[in-house]
Structure 1
Amino acid sequence: MTLEWEQVIVDATDPVALGRWWAEALGWVVVSDAPDEYEIRPAPDRKPGLLFVPVPEGKTVKNRLHLDFRPADHRAEVHRLLSLGARYADIGQGEQTWATLWDPEGNEFCVLSDRVSDT
């Protein structure tokens, strides 16, 4: 393969604040904390990362791309993310086994049902 997935770019009205929120939510490290390019990764040398860049306008419509996360404990993880400032999102999905949430700037992401243990 000739392509390596480097990062996902996230438009933000406040890249530093949103990047810090996601770093806390994911337990990732900050690799660049410049106001115009705030990047986090799972570890300093591990990819892909999330790169938060400034845009003048706020989010107005549903994302065309969003992140899904598979936790060990769905209920505990949703509670933790809500306590960090996430909000429930109703985007017309109805009753599901996952939770759709918004980050502080209104970007949708999903917390899926519990991971199945290999043991």
Structure 2
Amino acid sequence: MPVSLHHLVIDAHDLPALARFWAEVLHWRVLSEREREIVIGPEETAPVGICFMPVTEPKAVKNRLHLDLTCGAEDREAEIERILALGARRADVGQSGAESWTVLADPEGNEFCVVRPKRTLIG
């Protein structure tokens, strides 16, 4: 059997706060909570979730891997505002301003993008 993706793992300085931020952003829920890890996902049987693991040091450099989030085109600006209200901030990683995505950072500084919706290909 080939390998498959199980979890994305995010290091967190404030484990419960960061896990709950991402659960709110994604409309997911906390699936398990232990002293040294919190897992969130859309449901218990989901093939992939996000696992938060504690670290003592704060984030220092730009992510080598980031999440791209999408929503309906008509909802994009409202979703960005909702995510900002949850504790995200706008981030500058060298974008020109002409991009089709918006770069944000979570409360611990992990960058992620809200991108335009995928186009549906016909035929």
Q: What TM bracket, shorter-length normalisation?
A: over 0.9
* One-letter amino acid of the counterpart of residue 15, structure 1: L
Q: Specify every segment of 5 or more residues in structure 1 that has no aligned partner in the other structure, as ranges.
A: none
1:24 counterpart residue number: 24
**Counterpart of 1:43?**
43
Counterpart residue number, 2:96: 94
Please identify, of 12-21 and 108-117, the stretch whose mean Cα deviation from structure 2 is larger.
108-117
Rounded Cα–Cα distance in structure 2 between residues aligned with 1:108 and 1:60: 12
Q: Deviations over 1:60-84 (max 9, x none)?
A: 0000000001111211111110111
- 2:77 is aligned to 75
**Alpha-carbon displacement from aligned partner over 1:18-72 (angstroms, at most 9, x marks no partner):** 0011001101121111231000012111021100000010000000000001111
The normalised TM-score by structure 2 is: 0.90
What is the rounded CA distance, in whole Å, between the counterparts of 1:47 and 1:99 in structure 2? Answer: 27
Alpha-carbon contact 1:68-1:110 (below 8 Å) kept:
yes
2:39 and 2:16 map into 1 onto residues whose CA distance is 9
CA-CA distance at 1:12 after TM superposition: 0.6
| Unaligned 5+ runs, structure 2 | none
Partner AA of 1:82 in structure 2: L
RMSD: 1.6
What is the number of residues matched between the two proteins? Answer: 119
- Secondary structure of the residue that 1:44 maps to in structure 2? coil
Residue 109 of structure 1 aligns to a residue whose secondary structure is strand
**Which residue pairs with 2:9 in the alignment?**
9
Amino acid at match of 2:56: P
Q: TM-score, normalised by structure 1?
A: 0.93
Cα contact 1:89–1:100 (8 A) shared by 2: yes
